[in-house]
Amino acid sequence: MSELHTKADQLKRQADLLGLTKEAVFTDEQAKEVLQGKITDGYLIKIKIDLDSMNGMILLLVSSIKKHIMEVYAVVGSSPIFRRVRTFADHVQISTDLADIGKTAGYDPSISENIGRAVYRVFTKEKLEDFLPLWQKKDPSRITEALEASLLQASKGRNIKLQAEVDKISTAKFRYENPMKGTINPISKPMDEMPIPEEQTTQVVVPAGEQSAIERQIAHFRTGFSKEVNMKTVISPISGVEFDNLVEGQEILFRVPTETQEGMSDASLLGLIDEEGKVSKEPLIGKFLGIASNKSEYHIFAEGPNKYLFHSVEEQPVKVAIPKALGQTQNQSKVASTQNKKKVIAPVEQKSAGGNLFLLMGTFVTLILIGVLIFVMVIL
C-alpha cells in the first residue's frame, strides 16, 4: 500500500510541476525540456535591503521565456533573523528564513506591500527586455540603480542600501517547493495602478461607453460566427511563420487549453474526447483571419470547424506552426513518381538485354551449322 501511495504522490508531483511550468513557457515541448533539465525557464532575483533601521529581502521570479514577472515576495521589518539572510544563499534557505520571519510576525506587512508594488512598477515589460540579457549572464548590475529611488518613495524612507544576486532557476520548482507557503504570500500585481513613467507622456482617454481601438478590431473579427473558442497557438520557433508573413486563409495550428473546465467543454464540443474520456493531443487547424493588437497583446483569430471562431492571445510576436507545406507534399509525390518509373523501366532494360543475347547466340549457332555443312560437302 505504501508503494502505491509513493507512486501516486510522484505522479501528482509531476502533474503539479507540469501545470506550473506551462505558466512560464509557450509550448508543451518547452515544458518537457524544462522538467527534463535541458533548459531553464526563469530567473530568481534576490535583493537584500537595508532601509533606515529596518532590513528586508525581495525575491523576484521572472519567466525568461515569456519575459514577464511570475511572482514578487517582499519582506521588510526589524526581525533579527534578517541578519542571517544572505543573497548568495540557496533560494530554499532564504525562503525558509523568510518563512520563520513571517511566523514570528517580525516584518511590517504595509511597508512590504508597498515595496513589492514598487518592484512591479519598475520592472515593466519594456524594462525587462533591457535587463534579461544581463540576467542571462547572471549579471546583477543596474538592479540597485533601477530600484533605489522607487523603493525609497514607496517606503517613505530616507536611506537605503541594496545588494542583488541573480540565479537561473526552474520557476515551477521554486513555486512548488516554496517554504513560505501559508506564511508569506506573494505581492499582488497592482492592476489598477499605472507604472511610474520615465517621461511624462500624453495619454489618450477613451470616453465611457466608447470602445478602444483594439476592442473595435476584436468586435470586427467576431462578426458572423456562431461560437468563439479560446485556444492556444501552437508555436514553432524554427519552421513556423512570423506574424507579419501570415496571410488571410492560411492554415495555422491551435490546441485547446484543457487545464480548465471551460477548455474541457470546448474539447468535447470539438470532438477531441473519445468514449474512454481521453483527450486527443492532435492540434486543430484554423484558417487565419487576422490579428488585433496593441503594444502588449496580440489577439489571433482564425476560422475553425463548424463556423467556430478560434481566438488565442500572445504577449509578443511569435512564429506560428502551420500544417505541412504544399511544396513538401509535391516534392514527396515527385520522388515517389520517380521511384515508380525506375521500378517500371528496370525490367524493360533487362528484357532488351536478354533479347540481344539470344539473337547473338542464334547467329553463332547458325554459323557453326553452315560451317559443318560446307565441311561435309567438301569431303564427299
* pLDDT given for residue 205 in this prediction: 47
- Answer yes or no: are the C-beta atoms of 195 and 118 closer than 8 Å: no
- Answer yes or no: are the C-beta atoms of 75 and 114 closer than 8 Å: no
* SS (HEC) of 367-380: HHHHHHHHHHHHHC
For residue 68 the three cell numbers come to 514577464
In degrees, rounded to 5, the angle at the alpha carbon of residue 320 between the alpha carbons of residues 314 and 326 is 160
Chain Cα centroid distance, residue 336: 37
- Judged by DSSP in three states, 160 sits in strand
Give the strand pairing for 68-77 and 54-63: antiparallel
Question: Whose CA is closest to 220, among 288, 287, 292?
Answer: 292
Neighbours of 34 (CB within 10 A): 25
For residue 233, the surrounding DSSP H or E stretch is strand 232-233
- Please classify residue 50 by burial: count the beta carbons closer than 10 Å to its beta carbon, then call 0-12 exposed, 13-18 middle and 19+ buried: middle
Give CA–CA dist 82/58, Å, rounded.
Answer: 12
Contacts of 214 by beta carbon, 8 Å cutoff, 6+ apart: 292, 293, 294, 297, 299
* Tens-level pLDDT at each residue, the chain (380 residues): 456 557 777 888 888 888 899 889 888 888 889 989 899 999 999 999 999 999 999 999 999 998 899 999 999 999 999 989 999 999 999 999 999 999 998 999 999 999 999 999 999 988 998 999 999 999 999 999 999 999 999 999 999 999 999 999 999 999 998 999 889 999 988 864 444 444 443 444 445 455 677 788 888 888 888 788 999 999 988 888 988 889 999 999 999 988 777 788 888 888 898 888 888 888 999 999 999 887 778 899 999 988 899 999 888 888 999 997 543 444 444 444 445 444 444 444 444 445 556 666 777 667 777 776 676 565 65
* pLDDT given for residue 6 in this prediction: 76
Name residue, grid cell 476560422. Answer: 303
* pLDDT given for residue 329 in this prediction: 42
DSSP 315: S
pTM: 0.52
- Answer yes or no: are the C-beta atoms of 146 and 128 closer than 8 Å: no
Rg, Å, the chain Cα set: 34
- Judged by DSSP in three states, 118 sits in helix
Neighbouring-strand partners of residue 308: 227
Give CA–CA dist 151/153, Å, rounded.
Answer: 5
Give CA–CA dist 111/91, Å, rounded.
Answer: 22
Domain boundaries, the chain: 11-176, 218-320
